[in-house]
Amino acid sequence: MRRRSVLSALGLGAGIGLLPAPILAGSLQAYPFGVGVAAGDPAPDGFVLWTRLVTQPEAEHGGMPPLRVPVRWEVALDDGFRQIVRDGEAMAHPELAHAVHVEVEGLLPHRRYWYRFHAAGEATSPVGTVRTAPAAGAAVDRVRFAVAGCQHYEHGFYNAWGLLAREPDLDVVFHYGDYIYEGGPGQLGMRGNGVLAVRQHVGGELYSLDDYRRRYAQYKSDPDLQAAHASAAFACSFDDHEVDNNWAAGIPEENVPPEVFALRRRAAMQAWYENMPVRRAMFPSAPDPIAFRRLDYGRLMRMHVLDTRSHRSDQPCDDGRRKPCLREHRVEGTLLGARQEAWLEEGLGGPFTWNVLAQQLLLMPVDLRQPDQQHPELATDVWDGYRGARDRLLGAIQDRGLTNVVAVSGDYHRNLVGEVPLRDTQPEGEKVAVEFLATSMSSESPKAMPPAEHVARLNPHLALLDDERGYHLFDVTPERMVADLKSVATTKRRDLTPGPVTRFVVMPDQPLLHRD
Ligand code: FE
Ligand code: CA
């Protein structure tokens, strides 16, 4: 115990000016688990358990009083909690929006557990389940993971989360970001005109810590999102809309002085931490959070979780507004930053059957010019805007002779599946990885695509481009990786009817896609 808690335990704080905030012991005014529970970042011996006490998601401070609240947690071998193997107490502080992060240790590898919380000795949370990772170096038969993100609350209901919650035996869900969108009600996001809102954001555009907190609480009040979190561990990252559209490290989208934008970014990143089941290493005490990390699954799979937002240089060609933005304009710059780039290169390869690059943005080159357009139409916020950085990454994969790299990503609000060419000017040439860019859970993209045969002619490495809503599910074994692109029938009403599934298969000895 630290000095202050020793003193307060002895009732000695008051006399020497160390009086802590009072503790709420009992008599909560309403059920405090209004945004559910979550687990994250599984290791062989444990995981993070998360909850945030909220009685009214849309109210100031989530309806919670400005008091500390003691929260007990329990981890059991069964969903009836007859065999509790770990338990303890954590404090929910108003400074952290009454969020609780517990890093549980000392558990057995690759085994399912159940968990729950009790607040102020009187209210019990819903039950969540989570599986630890396999032991380091172990031979592993199978791992199943999902990739999901881009969940604009106004664009659609979370039917895709409801379906994901029913997937059996999920080891981890990689969330590539856009967990929230920062716009006010009816500001339906970039180029969102013409999208039908099915529900409304509370509050205007987000700037303050309380704004971001309330937006997370509103999104997390959704029962299907809560069910998905309760069903499996998440590995959470963030993209642009957790802060501001298309931000790049210290640079906002609009012309705002950097020291002013820094305040907004700080508030946004604190709220992100408060609302995600992430480790204390991601506590927002530094100006740049260190959110990149690895999740290993024995010898079967290493997942490199990247942060393509916090350490990048500015987008080229005035964020793509200056046209044409030619390929040769885009050789400068970094998407990962020097430190993360070195960290990634150092950890690529090793004894793993599969290397998964879990990141936010389209990795392969994709030219979506219209038939009457002379110059390539390449997005500038994705790896196409950072060609030199992409050349370095793909070169590192090739130098190591790796054939087992699978990039997963999102952001585009479409499904895009393809083989990543070594040289972006030769898309029909040598391939170094495969990429599965998952479509959005609910966010729409009203941007018109060129005719399909035109896209195929310009992008021979692209195997699929479609406009479903849903997520990707990966079944990983030593012999092959099976990718199911899952979709929902609708997002315009709450309805868990599945839509079509498209399947691809990849073998670890060749970065090529096979249809199944
Ligand atoms: Fe998005
Ligand atoms: Ca995005």
Residue 214 tokens read as 């309330």
Strand partners, 143: 476
The Cα 389–Cα 242 span in angstroms is 24
Segment 335-376, tens digit of pLDDT: 999 999 999 999 999 999 999 999 999 999 999 999 999 998
Higher pLDDT, 281 or 29: 281
Rounded distance from Cα 422 to ligand 2 centre (Å): 25
Q: Are strands 462-466 and 470-476 parallel, antiparallel or unpaired?
A: unpaired
Strand partners, 146: 173, 473
The DSSP 8-state label assigned to residue 400 in this structure reads T
- In this prediction, residues 234-255 reach a mean pLDDT of 92
Segment 72-106, tens digit of pLDDT: 999 999 999 999 999 999 999 999 999 999 999 99
Confidence of residue 5 (pLDDT cuts 50, 70, 90): very low
Rounded distance from Cα 411 to ligand 2 centre (Å): 4
Is the pLDDT at 190 greater than 80? The verdict is no
Cα dihedral 264/267/269/273 (nearest 10): -170
Confidence of residue 508 (pLDDT cuts 50, 70, 90): very high
Is the pLDDT at 134 greater than 90? The verdict is yes
Rounded distance from Cα 155 to ligand 1 centre (Å): 11
Rounded distance from Cα 181 to ligand 1 centre (Å): 8
**Which ligand is nearest the CA of 179, by number?**
1
* Among candidate residues 273, 305, 290, the one with its CA nearest the CA of residue 101: 273
- In this prediction, residues 461-476 reach a mean pLDDT of 97
Confidence of residue 21 (pLDDT cuts 50, 70, 90): low
Interhelix angle for 387-399 vs 338-347, to 10°? 20
Rounded distance from Cα 360 to ligand 2 centre (Å): 7
The predicted structure's pLDDT at residue 7: 37
Residue 177 tokens read as 């970001």
* Among candidate residues 336, 345, 339, 359, the one with its CA nearest the CA of residue 400: 345
* Among candidate residues 151, 118, 142, the one with its CA nearest the CA of residue 51: 118
Confidence of residue 30 (pLDDT cuts 50, 70, 90): very high
The residue behind tokens 């929260």 is 71
The predicted structure's pLDDT at residue 327: 84
**Which ligand is nearest the CA of 413, by number?**
1
Rounded distance from Cα 114 to ligand 2 centre (Å): 33
Residue 455 tokens read as 């896209």
Is the pLDDT at 461 greater than 80? The verdict is yes
The Cα 136–Cα 133 span in angstroms is 9
Rounded distance from Cα 409 to ligand 1 centre (Å): 11
The predicted structure's pLDDT at residue 2: 43
Is 452 exposed, middle or buried, given 0-12, 13-18 or 19+ CB atoms closer than 10 A? exposed
Is the pLDDT at 454 greater than 90? The verdict is yes
For every residue of 123-170, DSSP letters joined together read EEPPPEEEEPPPPTT---S-EEEEEE----TTT---HHHHHHTT-TT-
The DSSP 8-state label assigned to residue 328 in this structure reads G
Rounded distance from Cα 319 to ligand 2 centre (Å): 14
Confidence of residue 20 (pLDDT cuts 50, 70, 90): low
- In this prediction, residues 385-398 reach a mean pLDDT of 97
Rounded distance from Cα 176 to ligand 2 centre (Å): 9
H helix intervals, 23-158 = none
